[in-house]
């Protein structure tokens, strides 16, 4: 009998199944390493090695690996140990699977100085590739001598060498163009009785209508199962021109230098007069004057050297007219129901619903009038897209959930809204209307109540505490990225919640605050009991998403930008963090999250306590520095991390890394480029500046003073070298760094009053809009033309080259300045030495110097008189005696 296998308990089976699932998950999580198969080198895997990794594996650039010896052999055990110690932080994590499956004991790491494969190092993943790299075939000396003996005129035949086939993607095109069966084949089976096999068959004529069941009418009818609708038709066409190959060869001779010099032949004055009055010259001028005038007129009318065929091809290959660079007005919106005069302070496009805009407005009052009418302002809500609390200044959609909106108020409070319950109504308005494109977009741009009905107001969910927040108007507000979070000391950790749950604000009270919307540590039982007794019933239409924050929300940390030795502080107006560029690319992520919530999953903002118990994992090498624009026109580069005072032990803000005063007015815009993470645009006063993070010598570009004061600005979302600037006279300046760097490429009038905010948005690949708000409360929606929305082929690299060239120019200027200062110090030191030497001379030395000077004078006088013939050489002795 065969031995029975031991039986396993059901619990054991479940455990085994759980382990198998984990193993399957881990296998699927490992991604295939990216190699250079597309370039014909499947054995090469590019890598980025940081300075720390280079020190660990002794492969530091220009020290361990150089241009002469650019490779390093690294043991496989050391790489596996580094992967085990640093896990996902290790630079070898993208090629973890390759390292594990490598058959050898040592792997070849090569330094890519010229970034041929895109990164600073690459790893060779096969033993054959390693041997080919290390044992590169060299040309023997005998063959080199034979090459020198062979004359240049003799053609040497080189037989072709077979090479392995390298895929360039053609097999994919062949597979796409090949015809494949799209429908399943139908199989028919025909049978007959056995006794009918081989029986004689007789055919005869009969009337089909007279015999029952002998006539069947097969009428045509549409079958939906076999009806095919042509949705798309792919037609390929290729024009093959006639090709003619011609070649020629010239014999190369050794180069030699040659030079010549000549003198211009010129007429004399007499020849000029004679030739100018000659009849031949007069006749020549009379004959050619008419043709010259015609040629000059033709040059003024059109360019005769332009290539019409090339321009024709460019116009046919683009969408729209490339010569049209003006913004075209699409729609304008004005609130006609508001009894008070208001201005637009901020514009924010909805991240997922195209064409939907949130507009915040504030009453146009001075500080004295605002204080006088403060009671009325609190009773009258300030109208934005979603009717809201008193005087909101900067509404910002949350990058993780567009239904969460944060805004800053004039009184220094931060307000939160949750419009999740109204999302369906917004989308229904978006989907309704006619099929016309112009009419369909209208309700998306302006959310209006139904006709003959009262407008619906959406109340706020939470508002910050007045005592612990800002004391003056909030000038800027930003959501932090969902990739990190900070604590009270400013240290950076991995985000435990996986959503954007922290805000940063700056105010005119000289403070910068970081806020956390999650519930903090639980209060004592007595405090919570007292709070329950004092609670007020919440209206049924107010969501309870941020109930724990209402009137008790305090900033997580607060920074003050001190001016140094004085007791005064800088007044921030705008800020720009390192991770702001991630918010430009969060659109696809928000669409996925919105679909997940619609599918029935729980909204993470309705359970903010989830993940708070997880362990905080610090993020190493995270840049905590950011740019700040002030009311005095200063641009500050500082750190939000707190440090302890060595004397008092209190937490205090670090000193600014750099401070420059380049603007002659308050800074209205501090924004990072959506294409370059280290390029920052600042606008304030009458000029604009572009900075590069890490360059401490000054701005890369600083414009001259404009005719009117600048009030707002924004980078283009699709062109790296274009940005828009609004002015106080209603004009908008469009800068194109590829065309001009000293002045705007185009200026266009939008309105008759000051432009307060600019916000572009991409509607589709062929259509882009820009929202421009003015001081009178009108929102202008303009369509961006093709020229300003579609970049050229090499625009990103060209603009990057321009920035690098400006950095080198600043370095050269700084180097020359230091050299001049050193020379100036040396000259002053030399002057001081001369003064000291003159003071230290004795009386005898001065007399000896005077006597020597007098004797040299007498010798010069004697030589002069002899050269003039006033005295003879024989009288030399007598002259000397007389002297």
Phi, psi of 318 (to 5 degrees): -115, 165
Of 222-231, 240-249, 616-625, which range is least confident?
Answer: 222-231
Query: Which residue in 782, 806, 801 sits closest to 720, CA to CA?
Result: 801
The answer to whether 509 and 482 have CB atoms below 8 angstroms apart is no
pLDDT of residue 529: 45
Tens-place pLDDT, residues 174-196: 888 888 888 888 888 888 888 88
Long-range contacts of 30-36 (CB under 8 A, 24+ apart): 30/96, 30/97, 31/94, 31/97, 32/97, 33/94, 33/95, 33/96, 33/97, 33/98, 33/125, 34/94, 35/125, 36/117, 36/122
Of 31-45, 359-373, 690-704, 766-780, which range is least confident?
Answer: 359-373
pLDDT at residue 556 greater than cutoff 80: yes
Question: Can you count the helices (H) and strands (E) in the chain?
Answer: 21, 34
The answer to whether 718 and 768 have CB atoms below 8 angstroms apart is yes
Distance CA 220, CA 668 (A): 73
pLDDT of residue 451: 38
Residue 4, Cβ density class (10 Å: 0-12 exposed, 13-18 middle, ≥19 buried): exposed
Of 444-458, 515-529, 543-557, 683-697, which range is least confident?
Answer: 444-458
Q: pLDDT-derived band of residue 448, with 50, 70 and 90 as boundaries?
A: very low
pLDDT at residue 628 greater than cutoff 60: yes
Distance CA 202, CA 204 (A): 7
Cα-Cα-Cα-Cα torsion 374, 380, 383, 387, nearest 10 degrees, comes to: 120
Beta bridge partners of residue 749, listed in sequence order: 731
Average pLDDT over residues 54-74: 86
Distance CA 96, CA 59 (A): 19
Look up the pTM and report it.
0.55
Other beta carbons within 10 angstroms of residue 447's beta carbon come to: 21
Cα-Cα-Cα-Cα torsion 646, 648, 654, 656, nearest 10 degrees, comes to: -100
Average pLDDT over residues 40-53: 84
The answer to whether 496 and 440 have CB atoms below 8 angstroms apart is no
Q: How far is CA 728 from CA 316, 486, 586, in A?
A: 39, 38, 32
Contact residues for 259 (Cβ-Cβ < 8 A; gap 6+): none
Tens-place pLDDT, residues 641-663: 888 877 777 878 888 888 888 99
pLDDT of residue 692: 92
The answer to whether 388 and 396 have CB atoms below 8 angstroms apart is no
Distance CA 404, CA 139 (A): 70
The answer to whether 391 and 362 have CB atoms below 8 angstroms apart is yes
The residue ranking higher by pLDDT, 522 or 64, is 64
Average pLDDT over residues 255-276: 82
Tens-place pLDDT, residues 827-876: 998 888 877 766 666 667 778 888 888 999 999 988 888 888 887 765 55
Residues, the chain: 883
pLDDT at residue 55 greater than cutoff 60: yes
Distance CA 338, CA 391 (A): 13
Contact residues for 161 (Cβ-Cβ < 8 A; gap 6+): none
Distance CA 571, CA 506 (A): 9
Give the mean pLDDT of the chain. Answer: 76
Q: How far is CA 68 from CA 50, 58, 111, 114, 131, in A?
A: 21, 17, 10, 13, 18
The answer to whether 43 and 129 have CB atoms below 8 angstroms apart is yes
The residue ranking higher by pLDDT, 76 or 398, is 76
Q: pLDDT-derived band of residue 356, with 50, 70 and 90 as boundaries?
A: confident
Average pLDDT over residues 451-460: 58
Q: Residue 878 corresponds to which tokens in the numbers above?
A: 């007598």
Distance CA 706, CA 803 (A): 23
Q: Can you tell me whether residue 633 is helix, strand or coil?
A: coil
pLDDT at residue 26 greater than cutoff 60: no
Distance CA 190, CA 192 (A): 7
Tens-place pLDDT, residues 333-350: 676 555 457 778 887 877
Query: Which residue in 543, 586, 602 sits closest to 419, CA to CA?
Result: 543
User: What distance separates the 2 farthest-apart alpha carbons in the chain?
Assistant: 172
Q: Residue 713 corresponds to which tokens in the numbers above?
A: 């600005």
pLDDT at residue 586 greater than cutoff 70: no
The answer to whether 76 and 105 have CB atoms below 8 angstroms apart is yes
Q: Work out the percent of the chain whose per-residue pLDDT is above 70.
A: 74
The answer to whether 98 and 33 have CB atoms below 8 angstroms apart is yes
Average pLDDT over residues 276-303: 87
pLDDT at residue 547 greater than cutoff 80: no
Tens-place pLDDT, residues 799-836: 999 999 999 999 999 999 999 999 999 999 888 887 77
Distance CA 463, CA 55 (A): 50
Tens-place pLDDT, residues 492-520: 888 887 888 889 999 988 889 999 888 87
pLDDT of residue 875: 55
Q: pLDDT-derived band of residue 521, with 50, 70 and 90 as boundaries?
A: low
The residue ranking higher by pLDDT, 170 or 5, is 170
pLDDT of residue 390: 34
- Give the number of C-alpha atoms closer than 13 A to the C-alpha of residue 810, restricted to the C-beta side: 17
Of 235-239, 579-583, 584-588, which range is least confident?
Answer: 584-588
Of 55-64, 199-208, 789-798, which range is least confident?
Answer: 199-208
Q: How far is CA 388 from CA 138, 444, 825, in A?
A: 78, 19, 64
Distance CA 158, CA 383 (A): 82
Q: Residue 831 corresponds to which tokens in the numbers above?
A: 């002057």
Q: Residue 166 corresponds to which tokens in the numbers above?
A: 């390298």
pLDDT of residue 443: 31
Tens-place pLDDT, residues 119-142: 888 888 888 888 888 886 655 555
Distance CA 552, CA 467 (A): 9
DSSP for 17-71 reads HHHHHHHHHHHHHSPPPP-BGGGTBTTEEEE---HHHHHHTT--BTTTB-SSS-E
pLDDT of residue 343: 78
Contact residues for 683 (Cβ-Cβ < 8 A; gap 6+): 663, 667, 668, 669, 689, 710, 712, 713, 725
- Give the number of C-alpha atoms closer than 13 A to the C-alpha of residue 527, restricted to the C-beta side: 5
The answer to whether 125 and 102 have CB atoms below 8 angstroms apart is yes
pLDDT of residue 629: 92
pLDDT at residue 786 greater than cutoff 60: yes
Distance CA 700, CA 800 (A): 12
pLDDT of residue 5: 40
The rounded Cα 306 to chain-centroid distance in angstroms is: 36
pLDDT of residue 442: 33
Query: Which residue in 775, 798, 658 sits closest to 722, CA to CA?
Result: 798
Query: Which residue in 316, 406, 344, 349 sits closest to 717, CA to CA?
Result: 349
Q: pLDDT-derived band of residue 723, with 50, 70 and 90 as boundaries?
A: very high
pLDDT of residue 536: 53
Distance CA 546, CA 609 (A): 12
């Amino acid at each position: 009998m065969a031995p029975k296998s031991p039986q396993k308990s059901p619990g054991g089976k479940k455990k085994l199944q759980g382990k198998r699932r984990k193993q399957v998950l881990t296998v699927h999580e490992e991604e295939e390493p990216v190699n250079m198969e597309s370039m014909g080198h499947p054995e090469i895997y590019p890598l980025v090695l940081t300075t720390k990794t280079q020190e660990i594996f002794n492969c530091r650039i220009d020290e361990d690996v150089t241009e002469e010896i650019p490779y390093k052999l690294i043991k496989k055990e050391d790489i596996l140990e580094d992967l085990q110690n640093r896990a996902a932080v290790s630079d070898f994590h993208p090629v973890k699977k390759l390292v594990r499956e490598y058959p050898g004991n040592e792997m070849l790491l090569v330094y890519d100085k010229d970034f041929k494969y895109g990164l600073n190092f690459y790893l060779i993943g096969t033993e054959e590739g390693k041997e080919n790299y290390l044992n590169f075939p060299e040309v023997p000396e005998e063959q080199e001598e034979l090459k020198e003996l062979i004359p240049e005129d003799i053609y040497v035949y080189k037989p072709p060498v077979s090479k392995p086939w390298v895929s360039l993607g053609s097999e994919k095109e062949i597979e796409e163009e090949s015809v494949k069966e799209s429908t399943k084949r139908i199989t028919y089976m025909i049978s007959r009785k056995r006794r009918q096999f081989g029986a004689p068959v007789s055919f005869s004529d009969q009337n089909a209508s007279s015999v029952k069941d002998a006539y069947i009418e097969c009428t045509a009818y549409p079958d939906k199962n076999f009806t095919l609708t042509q949705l798309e038709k792919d037609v390929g066409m290729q024009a093959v021109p006639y090709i003619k190959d011609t070649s020629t060869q010239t014999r190369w001779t050794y180069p030699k230098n040659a030079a010549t010099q000549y003198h211009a032949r010129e007429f004399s004055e007499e020849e000029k007069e004679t030739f100018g009055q000659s009849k031949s010259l007069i006749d020549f001028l009379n004959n050619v004057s008419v043709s010259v005038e015609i040629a000059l007129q033709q040059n003024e009318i059109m360019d005769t050297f332009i290539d019409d065929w090339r321009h024709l091809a460019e116009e046919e290959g683009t969408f729209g007219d490339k010569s049209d660079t003006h913004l075209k007005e699409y729609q304008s919106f004005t609130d006609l129901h508001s009894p008070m005069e208001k201005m637009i302070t901020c514009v924010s496009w909805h991240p997922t619903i195209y064409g939907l805009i949130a507009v915040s407005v504030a009453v146009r009052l001075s500080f004295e009038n605002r204080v006088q009418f403060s009671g009325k302002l609190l009773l009258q809500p300030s109208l934005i897209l979603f009717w809201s609390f008193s005087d909101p200044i900067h509404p910002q959609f949350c990058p993780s959930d567009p239904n969460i909106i944060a805004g800053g108020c004039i009184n220094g409070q931060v307000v939160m809204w949750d419009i999740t319950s109204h999302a369906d109504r917004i989308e229904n308005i978006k989907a309704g209307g006619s099929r016309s494109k112009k009419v369909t977009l209208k309700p998306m741009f302006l959310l209006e109540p139904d006709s003959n009905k009262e407008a619906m107001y959406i109340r706020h969910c939470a508002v910050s505490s007045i005592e612990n927040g800002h004391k003056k108007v909030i000038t800027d507000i930003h959501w932090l990225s969902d990739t990190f979070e900070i604590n009270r000391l400013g240290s950076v950790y991995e985000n435990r919640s996986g959503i954007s749950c922290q805000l940063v604000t700056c105010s005119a009270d000289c403070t910068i605050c970081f806020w956390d919307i999650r519930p903090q540590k639980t209060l004592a039982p007595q405090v919570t009991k007292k709070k329950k007794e004092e609670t007020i019933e919440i209206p049924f239409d107010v969501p309870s998403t941020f109930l724990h924050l209402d009137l008790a929300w305090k900033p997580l940390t607060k920074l003050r930008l001190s001016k140094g030795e004085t007791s005064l502080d800088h007044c921030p107006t705008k800020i720009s963090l390192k991770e702001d560029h991630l918010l430009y690319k969060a659109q696809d992520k928000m669409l996925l999250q919105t679909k997940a919530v619609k599918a029935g999953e729980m909204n993470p903002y309705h359970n903010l306590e989830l993940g708070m118990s997880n362990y905080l994992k610090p993020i190493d090498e995270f840049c905590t520095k950011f740019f700040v624009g002030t009311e005095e026109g200063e641009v500050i580069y500082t750190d939000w991390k707190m440090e302890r005072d060595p004397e008092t032990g209190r937490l205090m803000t670090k000193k600014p890394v750099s401070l420059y005063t380049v603007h002659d007015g308050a800074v209205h815009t501090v924004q990072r480029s959506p294409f370059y993470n280290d390029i920052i645009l600042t606008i304030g006063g009458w000029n604009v500046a572009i900075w590069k993070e890490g360059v401490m010598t000054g701005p890369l570009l600083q414009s001259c003073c404009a005719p009117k004061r600048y009030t707002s600005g924004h980078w283009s979302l699709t062109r790296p070298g274009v940005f828009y600037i609004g002015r106080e006279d209603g004009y908008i300046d469009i800068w194109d760094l590829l065309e001009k760097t000293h002045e705007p490429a185009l200026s266009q009038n939008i309105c008759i009053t000051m432009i307060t905010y600019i916000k572009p948005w991409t509607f589709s690949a062929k259509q882009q809009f820009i929202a421009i708000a003015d001081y009178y409360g009108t929102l202008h929606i303009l369509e961006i033309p093709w020229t300003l929305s579609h970049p050229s082929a090499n625009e990103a690299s060209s603009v990057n080259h321009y920035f690098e060239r400006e950095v080198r120019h600043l370095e050269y200027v700084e180097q020359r300045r230091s050299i001049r200062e050193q020379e100036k110090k040396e000259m002053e030191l030399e002057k001081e030495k001369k003064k000291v030497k003159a003071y230290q001379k004795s009386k005898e030395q001065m007399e000896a110097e005077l006597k020597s000077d007098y004797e040299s004078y007498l010798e010069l006088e004697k030589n002069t008189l002899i050269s003039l013939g006033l005295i003879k050489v024989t009288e030399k002795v007598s002259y000397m005696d007389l002297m």
